[in-house]
Amino acid sequence: MKAKLVRIGNSRGIRLPKAVIDEVGLTEELELDVGEGRLTITPSRPARDGWAEAARTLGSGDTILYRSRVSYCVRRIWFRATRDEWGPCGKLLYSSGRVIGYAQYAPPQFLPNAAAYEAGPPSPEATFLSCLFLPDETSRRQGLGRLLLESILCELRARGMTAVETFARKGSQENPSGPLEFYLRQGFAIVKDDPMFPLVQYKLSHFAPPAARAA
């Protein structure tokens, strides 16, 4: 959605449609987040509001802080806008009716923060995997992350995409997209190294669905 700056005395402002205000839940007090050429407006929330629920829902680690600071409404608007313009851009992994993992992906232009990494920016022709995470440690090392990744690769290849890239973390699993060792085992290659977050890439022309591999 586009908006124009309007003059308000010696300042500038923007007019938002009532539908957008109601959708996001904006009130008279707002939070402004300025950085990397972007201005994000979210409803003002009390300090640590939602942290306990995030902890119960997601487990421990960096993801609690990440998800608690990004409001649900802003994420929903992003997913809707990206889906409408580009197509499906996320997946949930279920076990016994419970969400145990999630993933988010899109072309780099939909995820401008990716350019801030030292090994960035991602290749413009690749699909950028910004998140692939299993918050509960008991769900890890069972091949579930691999299943989630394979589902994404299969979908993207069917949609005609050529490559997938992400920033993997060296020496730790506490990273939105996961550890480097995981991606190397799945056939990704380092295209730009970094002491902490190298950029890795997978050519979708190399991907064979599990059923084809078993045949």
Is 10 inside a domain boundary?
no
Q: Binning pLDDT at 50, 70 and 90, where does residue 214 land?
A: very low
Separation of alpha carbons 67 and 51, rounded Å: 9
| Single pTM value for the model | 0.65
Q: What count of other Cβ atoms lies within 10 Å of the Cβ of residue 27? A: 9
What is the reported pLDDT for 71?
57
Domain carrying residue 205: 88-215
In the predicted model, is pLDDT for residue 211 greater than 80?
Answer: no
CB 196 within 8 A of CB 179: no
In the predicted model, is pLDDT for residue 60 greater than 50?
Answer: no
Domain containing residue 179: CATH number: 3.40.630.30
**Residue 89: closest CA among 108, 114, 117:** 108
Helices (H), 109-169: 144-158
Percent of the chain with pLDDT over 70: 80
| Rounded mean pLDDT, 33-39 | 69
In the predicted model, is pLDDT for residue 180 greater than 90?
Answer: yes
In the predicted model, is pLDDT for residue 54 greater than 70?
Answer: no
Domain count, the chain: 1
Is 56 inside a domain boundary?
no
Backbone φ, ψ for residue 199 (5° rounding): -90, 125
| pLDDT digits 0-9 by tens, 72-125 | 667 888 898 999 999 999 999 998 888 889 999 999 999 998 999 999 999 999
CB 159 within 8 A of CB 130: no
